[in-house]
Structures are given as C-alpha cells and as structure tokens.
Amino acid sequence: MSPQSWSKEAALGVLATTRVEPGPVLISLQALQQHFGYVPQEAIALVADACNVSRADVHGVLTFYHDLLTSPQPRNTVRLCAAEACQAVGSRELAKALEESGMVEIEKTYCFGNCALGPSAVVKGRLLGRATVESVLAAIEVGVMT
Ligand code: FES
C-alpha cells in the first residue's frame, strides 16, 4: 500500500486495528508508518490515548527504534548497509555510484542481517542482496513495495 496523506480520522482507523497484545504501542506505530509512510508527530497523542500510556512512553518507543520514521522520506531513499561485511564487498563504491546517479538519496544503515549477500540495500521496504546500481535503480523503477 502506498503511503497516505496524514489525517486524524485515518490514523484513528489505523489504530482501531492494532489493539492486540503484546506491544500495542510498537504495533500501533508500525501500522501508522505503514499507512502514512512515517509516524507524524500528531499521532503520538492518539497512540497514547489508544494504548492507555503516556505520550512520553510513545515518544520513547518512537525514538528507540531506528526503523520508525518521524518525517516523510524522499521518494527514492535507498537504505544501504555500511557495516563491515558489506563494505568488504563494495557498499562504499555502490553508495558513491548511486549518489552520482542523482536518482536516489542514500541513508546509511548498519547491518540488515543479510551479511552473506552484501552489499545489502533496502528499497521501498524490500531487502536487496548483492545490490548493484542496476538492481537498485530497477527496484525503484518497478516500484517494489512492502
Ligand atoms: S554487514 Fe551488511 S547486512 Fe550485515
């Protein structure tokens, strides 16, 4: 599903589907991110009310998990692993080539747990192994979705 524009009504609809145990705060934040592409600041109070926790608790979860985004991401952001195993098989060179293409914005990340198939990248929520400039750009063009 493509990210939707923020609206309180849509957020309340998303939250109504997430009241399951365990971890309702994290599940709620993940569901909102799935729906909107990030977790808007305005959603913190809604999640706190829905999960019966403080806003500080929600903020703590939101800022603890690196994968939870607090702002919209540029359309063609590629998360590229910059950890040792991927560096050993060319992630730095791949990052440079992708940046030079002018078609993507690189976000460095440290290990996707896909070390044996490096360089590893995530494009539109989908993990790519043995990533190349061509495979990353192809994944962007075909609109690989989560
Ligand atoms: S080092 Fe890149 S996925 Fe683990």
- Please tell me if the CB atom of residue 94 comes closer than 6 angstroms to any atom of ligand 1: no
Kindly give the number of the ligand 1 atom that is closest to the alpha carbon of 84. Answer: 1
Instruction: Out of 78, 94, 107, 114, give the residue to mutate to test ligand 1, the one with the largest number of ligand atoms within 8 Å of its CB.
Output: 114
Kindly give the number of the ligand 1 atom that is closest to the alpha carbon of 83. Answer: 1
Domains and CATH numbers, the chain: 8-64 (no CATH), 77-141 (3.40.30.10)
Q: What global pTM score does this model have?
A: 0.56
* CA dist., res. 76 & res. 104, Å (int): 5
pLDDT tens by residue, 18-59 = 765 546 899 999 999 989 989 999 999 999 999 989 999 999
pLDDT tens by residue, 105-143 = 899 999 999 999 999 999 988 899 999 999 999 998 865
